[in-house]
């Protein structure tokens, strides 16, 4: 299976999760941020009321620069600005809706290291923008955007209660009769946006919290910590004899769990646990869940065995969300750890998902290693091939190797090949019941792509 690139190709700046890139290089500059503010501001002007935007960020050094540029852009077209400081992406989505803002902006490059940054946009309903809306904003950015008269320039202010609002909101995802007393939880916040709110929420619900990645200095976000670098968390869980470990990424919209033995638990197992529990309580909607083409075949088989469907969307939580809304599902996510629980949030929320896992741990009385091993995954291998330019997937030799691989896996596994929406790499994934065959297929395709790149 090969994903199409039509939506990405139509938007030169916006990828699968907003605009992202190396700060002060390429598109991710203060000038771009100011233009985004002006274009997004103009796009969301509707009616005669005073319009406003909520702007949050993670802990990157460049966040100050990007925030100032966005404020300049929005205020120059008459939009009032509310700044929250460092907060998770889902908190900005929440506040955008609760504060009746016209749009929300999160300044973050998610799990990337500090030198990168990004801009994510939310509509007044707290949901990420559609491809069409992003394309229109990008079109406006290429035009001369009219500025408002001096007396109509927007105002900017910071709010101090944003963290408390978010902590209160995420705690509501746990039933009032559930407490985490007696649990010892290691929480790794990746020196990122959740470094204050996630440990606080879990502690307030009664757990003993051992915190990692909670000392941001502007340049250490995701550096050896967080959901994409869990070795430190695994070691700490074992050292502390903790019940479970929680790893968030830089903007805290994804979650990876570590059991009490130090073993990693990915998003597929977490989705299986949450969906199963909700099915038992009768609160699972849509008759299944939405995941992506990257989710393990074992998850699909597990759900089918429970009479549930697995709907596969393109990679990117925005596409998972679109499929969820279209099909009436309230649970969706990605193997990488994005968990969208529409009963509690409008976008991926690692902290909410973590609280749901901890609640299940308390209710079950089982150790995490038993509770979180919901299904047996089939052998799966993902490799990335970096390329400098061109379209290696259009190479005849690459096409032939892919065709051979698809034929060999027919009826026994799956093949997914796609260009990344955030960096110049081709992702090659195969899975099936035969580990050696999976490895052979992936290696052959990677070699062909590398030779063509």
Length of the chain: 453
**Catalytic site residue 110?**
yes
Side-chain-side CA neighbours of residue 189 (13 Å): 26
**Cβ atoms 255, 267 nearer than 8 A:** yes
Q: How far is CA 240 from CA 28, 185, 223, 244, in A?
A: 41, 9, 22, 10
> How far apart are alpha carbons 230 and 322 in whole angstroms?
30
- Catalytic residue, candidates 62, 76, 108, 110: 110
**Cβ atoms 445, 428 nearer than 8 A:** yes
List b or e across 109-124, with b for residues whose CB sees 16 or more CB atoms inside 10 angstroms: bbbbebbbbbbbbbbb
**What's the burial of 411, exposed, middle or buried (CB within 10 Å: 0-12/13-18/19+)?**
exposed
Q: What are phi and psi of 304, to 5 degrees?
A: -60, -35
Q: 102 Cβ partners below 8 Å, 6+ apart?
A: 44, 45, 46, 51, 52, 53, 79, 124
- Going by C-alpha positions, the residue among 373, 361, 344 that lies closest to residue 180 is 361
**What's the burial of 395, exposed, middle or buried (CB within 10 Å: 0-12/13-18/19+)?**
middle
Q: Edge-to-edge, what's the strand order for the sheet holding 413-419?
A: 380-386, 425-432, 413-419
> How far apart are alpha carbons 2 and 331 in whole angstroms?
25
Residue 188 pairs in a beta bridge with: 212, 247
Catalytic residues, by residue number, are 110
């Amino acid at each position: 299976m090969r994903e199409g690139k039509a939506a990405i190709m139509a938007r030169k700046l916006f990828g699968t999760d907003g605009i992202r890139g190396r700060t002060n290089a390429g598109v991710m500059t203060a000038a771009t941020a100011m233009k985004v503010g002006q274009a997004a501001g103009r796009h969301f002007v509707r009616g005669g009321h005073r319009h406003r935007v909520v702007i949050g960020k993670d802990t990157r050094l460049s966040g100050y620069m990007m925030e100032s540029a966005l404020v300049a852009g929005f205020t120059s077209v008459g939009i009032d600005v509310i700044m929250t400081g460092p907060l998770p992406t889902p908190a900005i989505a929440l506040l955008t809706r609760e504060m009746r803002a016209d749009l929300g902006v999160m300044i973050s490059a998610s799990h990337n290291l500090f030198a990168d940054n990004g801009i994510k946009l939310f509509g007044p309903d707290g949901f990420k923008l559609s491809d069409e809306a992003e394309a229109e904003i990008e079109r406006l950015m290429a035009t001369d955007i009219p500025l408002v008269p001096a007396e109509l320039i927007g105002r900017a202010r910071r709010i101090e209660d944003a963290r408390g609002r978010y902590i209160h909101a995420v705690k509501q995802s746990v039933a009032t009769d559930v407490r985490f007393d007696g649990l010892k939880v290691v929480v790794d916040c990746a020196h990122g946006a959740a470094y204050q709110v996630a440990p606080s929420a879990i502690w307030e619900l009664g757990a003993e919290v051992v915190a990692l990645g909670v000392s941001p200095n502007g340049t250490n976000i995701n550096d050896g910590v967080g959901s994409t670098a869990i070795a430190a968390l695994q070691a700490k869980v074992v050292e502390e004899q903790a019940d479970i470990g929680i790893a968030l990424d830089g903007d805290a919209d994804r979650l990876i769990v570590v059991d009490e033995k130090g073993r990693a638990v990915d998003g597929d197992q977490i989705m299986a646990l949450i969906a199963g529990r909700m099915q038992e309580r009768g609160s699972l909607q849509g008759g299944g869940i939405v995941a992506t083409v990257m989710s393990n075949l074992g998850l699909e088989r597990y759900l089918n065995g429970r009479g549930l469907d697995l709907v596969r969307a393109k990679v990117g939580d925005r596409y998972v969300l679109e499929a969820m809304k279209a099909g009436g599902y309230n649970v969706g996510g990605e193997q990488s750890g994005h968990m969208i629980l529409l009963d509690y949030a409008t976008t991926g929320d690692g902290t909410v998902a973590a609280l749901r896992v901890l609640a299940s741990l308390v209710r079950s009385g089982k150790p995490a290693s038993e509770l979180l091993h919901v299904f047996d995954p089939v052998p799966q291998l993902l490799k990335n091939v970096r390329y400098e330019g061109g379209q290696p997937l259009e190479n005849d030799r690459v096409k032939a190797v892919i065709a051979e691989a698809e034929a060999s896996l027919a009826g026994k596994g799956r093949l997914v090949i796609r260009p990344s929406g955030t960096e110049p790499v081709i992702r090659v994934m195969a899975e099936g019941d035969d580990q050696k065959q999976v490895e052979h297929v992936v290696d052959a395709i990677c070699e062909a792509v590398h030779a063509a790149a």
